[in-house]
């Protein structure tokens, strides 16, 4: 079993299932399963890669997600969905919050990534280095 410091490791499927099943109850259609949480972690990791954020600087990043609602127009009212918060630790993603929420028909899944200002700066530095961009200092003559 994975060590639990600051949440449940998304690789620990049994612990995820146990934790999630108590919150989901019978609402299983539009809430996240353990496999969905693992998919969210993979998506979050891919987004951090697209940000040019090196794996050594990813610790502390947060991913929040809200499940999609029913796609059929026949639904007129909200259904029980899920809000999930994942935090990136040194050893991978951890589930730190899972709550039921109302999702509405035709609402799409939303996944947001939150990084610190230091991580954003490291991301820009790495991107500039990898695509070979140099920023020139503005001179007085060029400014005039």
| Dist. CA 102–CA 96, nearest whole Å | 20
Among the listed residues 12, 10, 88, the one whose alpha carbon sits nearest the alpha carbon of residue 56: 88
Is residue 68 within 8 A of residue 109, CB to CB? The reply is: yes
pLDDT at residue 1 is higher than 60: no
For the chain, the domains span 8-143
Q: What is the pLDDT of residue 116?
A: 96
3-state secondary structure of 142: helix
pLDDT at residue 2 is higher than 50: no
Among the listed residues 92, 35, 41, the one whose alpha carbon sits nearest the alpha carbon of residue 64: 41
pLDDT at residue 4 is higher than 90: no
62 confidence band (pLDDT: 50, 70, 90): very high
Among the listed residues 135, 128, 133, 125, the one whose alpha carbon sits nearest the alpha carbon of residue 56: 125
Distances (CA, A) of 92 to 44, 68, 75, 113: 11, 25, 37, 15
144 confidence band (pLDDT: 50, 70, 90): low
Is residue 33 within 8 A of residue 77, CB to CB? The reply is: no
Question: What mean pLDDT, rounded, does the chain reach?
Answer: 89
Distances (CA, A) of 75 to 32, 78, 83, 108, 109: 19, 8, 20, 14, 17
Per-residue model confidence as pLDDT tens digits over 20-39: 998 888 888 889 999 999 99
């Amino acid at each position: 079993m994975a060590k639990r410091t600051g949440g449940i490791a998304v690789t620990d499927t049994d612990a995820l299932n146990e934790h999630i099943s108590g919150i989901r109850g019978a609402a299983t259609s539009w809430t996240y399963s353990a496999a969905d949480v693992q998919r969210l972690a993979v998506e979050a990791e891919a987004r951090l890669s697209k940000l040019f954020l090196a794996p050594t600087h990813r610790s502390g990043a947060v991913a929040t997600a809200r499940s999609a609602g029913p796609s059929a127009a026949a639904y007129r009212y909200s259904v029980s969905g899920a809000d999930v918060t994942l935090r990136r630790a040194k050893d991978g993603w951890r589930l730190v919050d899972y709550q039921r929420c109302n999702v509405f028909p035709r609402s799409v899944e939303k996944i947001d990534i939150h990084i610190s200002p230091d991580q954003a700066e490291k991301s820009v530095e790495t991107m500039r280095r990898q695509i070979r961009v140099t920023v020139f200092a503005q001179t007085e003559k060029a400014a005039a």
